[in-house]
Amino acid sequence: MAKHIVKLSVNGRVHEEAVEPRTLLVHFLREQLQLTGTHIGCETSHCGACTVDLDGRSVKSCTHLAVQCEGSAVVTVEGLAQGGVLHAVQEGFYREHGLQCGFCTPGMLVRAWRLLQDNPDPSEAEIRSGLSGNLCRCTGYQNIVKAVQYAAAKLRQAAPATA
C-alpha cells in the first residue's frame, strides 16, 4: 500500500511522516511518534482513553485517520506540562486523587484541559457534562470533578486581571 506524507504539529513540534492511508491517529502518535501517553481503549470511540485535542477541539484519536490531520495542531497529554511543570489539570488530578488505575487519565486530562480552555469557570454540572464522553471504571468521578474544579480555580487565580 502506498504511503502518504502527513505534516502536522504535535505538542508544538512539526512532524512530517510517511503513513499508510488507514493509519489511525492514535497509532500514529503511539507507534510513529512514540507518544504513548494517549491510550488505546475500546477503539470504537466510546471510552475516551484516546482523547487528544485537534485544532482546538477534543477528539477520539481512534476515529481519526492520521492523513485527515494534515496541517492540523494536535495536543496530547505529553504536551500539557510545560518546562517540567505540571499543568494545573495534572496537578489537580494529583492533589485531588482524580485517578486510580490511570488508564483513562490521559484522555480525561486532555478533555479537562480543553473544557477549561473553553469555559474557565465551569459549574459541577458543566464539568460532568464536559467529561461525559470519557469513561472511568475506577473512581466514581467525584474526585475527577474535584480535580477539574481545583485546576479551574488555580488557572483563574493565575490569569491576569482584566479591567
| Three-class secondary structure of residue 114 per DSSP | helix
User: Which residue has 506540562 as its cell numbers?
Assistant: 81
Name the pTM for this structure.
Answer: 0.94
Whole-number pLDDT of residue 47: 94
Residue 163 confidence (pLDDT): 54
User: Given this model, what pLDDT does residue 108 score?
Assistant: 97
Give kind and range of the element (H or E) at residue 153: helix 142-158
pLDDT score, position 102: 92
pLDDT of residue 1: 75
Residue closest to 155 by CA, chosen among 85, 77, 88, 90: 88
Domains located in the chain, CATH noted: 4-78 (3.10.20.30), 88-158 (1.10.150.120)
In this structure, what are the phi and psi dihedrals at residue 34, rounded to the nearest 5 degrees? 60, 30
pLDDT at 92: 98
pLDDT the model gives residue 140: 85
**Under-70 pLDDT residues of the chain:** 161-163
pLDDT at 135: 94
- Backbone phi, then psi, for 48, in 5-degree steps? 85, 0
Return the pLDDT at 162. Answer: 63
